[in-house]
Structure 1
């Protein structure tokens, strides 16, 4: 490891797209061992290095041209270079470690290597044969290039973007002319951009930059500039690409990507001006997921998430998300995300969960952090806060791994807001700071999130002046993001504005009324939001001195039936606020009712493990009665998970749901051993003996 760190530049170490090189000292030792072996053993090792997979002794011996492969295998086993499974009749063998394989492969003479690859192509399946045919090519090969391109097109049509890209890059390397080389290179880069394989696409940026100027080159470089946070460059290059397009087919892609560049700047009107002509040309049933998804976001920036859903509805996706074809996964994500933001939480979760599951099981479906953090916001709103934190953790891993910087701020905001509601101040503060730092690349798109996170942090602390101070920065954020995320921002704004006489102003109350109007509009298609809107109407009426009107709204809020779309924090706060209203304005007649609403607030907040809110409600309850037992017993409002790390909480929550260590590892992108390690720490910290006790501690809300 020390040799590796000393010899390899940090940029190479950080490159997850390519394997690490063999350290020189280890390479020398392996090659010395290899060269000291008998001739037949060396030839068998060379064949295994070329095949680079588990294979039978018979196939490896045939490729190596060895008459007695058993004796050669014994020498390789004794040298520790080969692993085998003697329990299998076919004797499957492979080189023991990838670094050993690389060192042996590098020791094979070029001519011998080509001849081995030529022979290997006839011994393996058609899919594996491509790599051997390419490795066996001694010069450019127009015929092989055309075959590779045809296979790449077939693979891309089947959704195998990574494989199609690899084939096109091989075709580029074997092309007999510069024009052909650049054509295949640009096709490979386009596949990656369309398939949202951003890290690998960005790795090709320098090679694309050296291509001759053309609309295709400008389109690819413009797309890469847009996802890298270079909006000026993106707009310039994509505008050139659109202007240089000579037919409808070549015009559509750069136009779509120009729309994406505008969406990443939250510029809805500009986006629709570019995309509307394309939308008019596309049949409603056409699978143009990216185009319609971008147009839906643009409509949402102008008119809100209901407008986004109207754009998506024209694509006529099946209502059952499991029946949506993989090619329309991006549009399914958009539908789920905008349903969440429109208050249709259960439908949004039903769209997003199968999509996330599809990404785990189908390696051809691209993975996007946005799917995780949008699902996380759905969990946040519906009170499934442990699931929200797991979604945030998954999203952060994806943003780090696949160059999706626009997803960092919303993900940290989600984590900060959830931790704050639980009273995990240190973790909330850490994520809040990270959220602020991550807005530089996409300020128009992401500057809203630290504002929301800071306001939620102050809300959880009961610090209404700090809430108002945080929300004063709303005027500096993009109007489009405020519109589309109104379900997250409007309740915070109304609560802060109406909190106390010192915070109220005529202008502030007018802004609160406008915010409620937006939620009233959403509630037309999301009846569960009536609980939230009536609660906010009640607060506004109280602030304006309309006591009876406020009381009516409070009662209507709590009469709204509880459904899967309900926002339990809002309902709990409504109980608390109604109790305060009754004590302030109707004390003589409603003291008992106020006490009952405070008790319900404590019960609901404790169930959510919204510790700081529950503590304040409990204090109010205790001020009314000698003991809260008089109205139904004491409530432990502490959070037993407060002393755990974020990873320990995630592991504990999934274990309490009944997942095995292997299933938890799959969810959190770690090993089963790591899960076992974290569970051991959890048991020790919480003084638990096993999963049965863990389930009681993390009993689902």
Structure 2
């Protein structure tokens, strides 16, 4: 019977009911101190759902270094389902479960495989997934779990997670914090225990509402250690009870506690070396400290295990760990016990830990790799070995998404070595940390300093990476330094030429990079403004990453892709890419991606609060704020912002260069023709060198505004017909229409202004529709009519729905869509069910007739 948990029980019951009746999934993190009742709530949920499929896992402190130990425990009963998963997911899960080699699998593919498997388990009805003591799950299992549960939606899966106060902070999961029991509920816990009123009061005072403390103190009497925290008092009570047991029982409890996993054969084998057997556990079983079932032995509560282990002398623990190491048949368990028995630096044990780390790497358990390498470093017998292993730990932990810890490991390693090759490796780690924090300038400097000491291939990669970081952070000198040292690299040489405004040299080199393909082609196409080519390249890369389950590569790829559909007027596609980039960045431990694109879309819509909420400080956000200023008539503010942006380090890239046209228009409005002339001249040189029709059209529009002549408008509109930037085309229509009106050609003006109004309306560029209507009114069109264009159906969809619909329209099955979008098949079907009425269709066949953008 549970007391004082009505609220939590109701939340769990609601989740279970929603899963049964509506097929919706739900997750709840039960957080609280030791003994607060998390396990009791999980047991209650399991009893409530006894007739449904239940998977359960308990984290064990001893298994934190065993890659995917928790996942194995949970999925072993359903391992036969793994082979039915999509190829990359099945491969990743088989590797995680130790059923196959997985050296080439993506670490997030395990989480995706777990998601699909949970959905499959719930295919015949709701499923309950229980995680107890999540604070002790190995990091690989924890990461897979979080990746999966964040994507649950319509599978009928309920996940309940119990964790200590400090665990899973910032996970973003719905939480219920378990508090101490009220006095009335605490008294009910003690009822029927034949305690005097005085003892009851002392138990209530010392237990302070902790359910486990109430039970233990009620059974054995209060401990009188009131100055200690409740968990420590309960621990002390358990130690006292254990110390009263016969010595063979205490010894066998120590062996069980040191073994940690509850693996009965290992405990029995090790116990035999001390002439102990299971009969020696009898007294502990009678007192309900442990329970033996089948091939498992479990402590009733983790605090009992802690009391049995911590209460033993250190020398005795070492002897026990050595016995367990000798008894172990699993190499991961053997090395764990050998490490626990090490009394100081031991190269043999350190080498074993290093080998275990590499085995974990083969299973893509990157966080466990880092932990094992760190342990190996601690047991290394010389500084060089320690530095090498800490370097490997830093590299792994960075990949696992913990830049702060990676920097700590890298700094410690650097303090132990003077080897220039190793210091170069560490420089790459530290530079990646700096770049992730937004400090590309220092990252580039670090790489340039150490690149000359690295192996040739590594040196070249370091220089290329330095150039990319320097370009991003506006360090033009470092871009040129990297280019001079690389020599024949078209991409970096092109960037270096742009920093000196040598567009005639730089932009063709970027065009060559785009044509040749390769790792820099997408970035080169974006900088060049080759929109369609950038979209094709990025889409192909993203599709390949999705197909292979390479989730870790997608956040940056999607973030770099998102500005392209923005420029092409594919608003919903841009929002979908930015939203997915942000979600995947969170799951992969990276800082937020996609904010700049969302800021641009807010500027187009006239949503100033959303734009102001976006992170500030980068050129792209500043350019978006200037665009909003221009559309709202704040021309002085627009000029001020744009002069900063266009004299800044990013002025040579297409996403910012296009803002030169904004500066021309704003400067003319405040009678600063000198500023406008300079901006137009630079834009024209850039446009001619790039060969992009949209850029030449925008430059011609600016020329028409400066010269107050018609011919450049006509030429610009002709070029717009051959490019795909509808917002820029609409602005040219608006500017031309305004020019025609001022020259009293009202009929011609209305045709242009209506074309602009319809385009702005379609793009949801609210401030610009207002400008077009104002021009129409000025031309004598009374109450300027609303645009005649029909609502864009795709704008009714959520970003997730749009992604699903685009892929479904290509004839891809729900299961394949789920694999590509990192969802479950049932969630895909749910999104389609929600999208059909919004689009006015009733089946997949109808989707093929809709004008859908290319999926990324």
TM bin, normalised by shorter chain, reads: 0.5 to 0.7
Aligned to 1:550: 712
In structure 2, how many angstroms separate the alpha carbons of the residues matched to 1:464 and 1:664?
47
Q: Which residue of 1 aligns with 2:5?
A: none
* 1:266 aligns to 2:474 (yes or no): yes
The answer on whether the counterparts of 1:422 and 1:639 sit within 8 Å (CA) in structure 2 is no
CA spacing shift, 1:143–1:297, aligned 2, 3 Å: farther
Aligned residue in 2 for 1:573: 731
CA contact (8 A) 2:693 2:719 kept: yes
Q: Which residue of structure 2 aligns with residue 143 of structure 1?
A: 348
Alignment partners' CA distance in 2, 1:210 and 1:461:
56
- Rg: which structure is higher? 2
Instruction: Give the alignment partner of residue 755 of structure 2, picking from 600, 604, 607.
Output: 600
- The structure 2 residue matched to 1:494, chosen from 646, 649, 661, is 661
Alignment partners' CA distance in 2, 1:666 and 1:24: 49
Asked if 1:424 corresponds to 2:593, the answer is: no
Per-residue deviation, 1:570: 1.6
Moved more, 247-256 or 601-610: 247-256
Mapping of residues 268-667 of structure 1, within 5 Å: 268-274=476-482, 276-278=484-486, 298=496, 301=499, 303=503, 304=506, 306-308=508-510, 310=512, 317=518, 331=519, 334-353=520-539, 355=541, 366=552, 370-393=556-579, 411-431=594-614, 434-436=615-617, 446=618, 448-461=619-632, 463-474=634-645, 476-478=647-649, 481-483=650-652, 485=653, 487-498=654-665, 500=668, 502-522=670-690, 524=691, 529-547=692-710, 549-560=711-722, 566-585=724-743, 587=745, 591=747, 593-621=748-776, 625=781, 633=788
Deviates more, 1:368-377 or 1:109-118: 109-118
The residue that corresponds to 1:7 in the other structure is none
* Cα distance in 1 between the residues matched to 2:727 and 2:565: 12
SS in 2 for 1:498: helix
Instruction: Tell me the secondary structure at the aligned position of residue 339 of structure 1.
Output: helix
1:180-239 CA-to-partner distances (Å, cap 9, x unmatched) read: 223332344356679986344213245235425453575466552654677897788767
Indicate the SS of the match to 2:656: helix
8 A Cα contact 2:235 2:303, kept in partner: no
Distance, in Å, in 2 between the alignment partners of 1:459 and 1:95 is: 69
**1:382 CA displacement:** 2.1
* Structure 1 counterpart of 2:391, from 174, 180, 186: 186
Indicate conservation of the 8 Å contact 2:321/2:340, yes or no.
no
Alignment partners' CA distance in 1, 2:539 and 2:286: 48
Gap runs ≥5 in structure 1: 5-9, 17-22, 85-89, 285-291, 318-330, 437-445, 642-647, 680-688
Contact 1:118 1:133 in 2 (8 A): no
Distance 1:63 1:474, change over 3 A: same
Check 1:117–1:375 CA distance in 2 against 1; reply closer, same or farther (3 A cut): farther
- TM-score, normalising length: structure 2: 0.55
Q: Distance in 2 between matches of 1:650 and 1:82?
A: 50
SS at match of 2:345: coil
Is the 2:250–2:308 Cα contact (8 Å) retained in structure 1? no
Q: 8 Å contact 1:218–1:241 — kept in the other structure?
A: yes
User: 1:692 & 1:414 partners in 2: Cα distance?
Assistant: 27
CA deviations 1:327-353 (Å, max 9, x no partner) are: xxxx3xx32222223233344334435
Please state whether the residue corresponding to 1:380 is helix, strand or coil: helix
Q: Deviations over 1:112-148 (max 9, x none)?
A: 4774586479756556765455445444332343455
Q: Which moved more, 1:176-185 or 1:23-32?
A: 23-32
Q: Counterparts of 1:114 and 1:516 in 2: how far apart (Å)?
A: 79
CA distance in 1, matches of 2:299, 2:514: 51
Deviations 1:406-464 (CA, angstroms, capped at 9, x unpaired): x77xx543322211212222111121xx313xxxxxxxxx4x23431221222443544
Partners of 1:32 and 1:306 lie apart in 2 by: 77
Distance 2:441 2:234 in 1: 52
Q: Are the equivalent residues in 2 in contact too, given 1:258–1:274 (CA < 8 A)?
A: yes
Contact residue 490 and residue 515 of structure 1 kept, 8 A: yes
**SS at structure 2 position matched to 1:176:** coil
Sort the Cα spacing of 1:99 and 1:404 in 2 relative to 1 into closer, same or farther, 3 A: farther
Aligned residues: 600
Unaligned runs of 5+ in 2: 1-30, 35-164, 172-227, 809-813, 842-849
The Cα RMSD (Å) is 5.8
**Bigger RCO of structures 1 and 2 (CA < 8 A, at least 6 apart):** 2
CA deviation vs aligned residue, 1:567-607 (integer Å, no higher than 9, x gap): 2222232333333333333616xx1x543433333333233
Q: Does 1:198 align with 2:403?
A: yes
The answer on whether the counterparts of 1:390 and 1:650 sit within 8 Å (CA) in structure 2 is: yes
Cα gap change, 1:427 to 1:172, in 2 (>3 Å): same
Rounded Cα–Cα distance in structure 2 between residues aligned with 1:346 and 1:75: 71
Cα deviation, 1:446-484, whole Å, max 9, x if unaligned, reads 4x2343122122244354443223212235522xx211x
Alignment-derived partner of residue 374 in structure 2 = 169
Using the TM superposition, give the Cα deviation of residue 556 of structure 1 relative to its aligned residue in structure 2, in angstroms.
0.5
| CA distance in 1: counterparts of 2:317 and 2:515, whole angstroms | 60
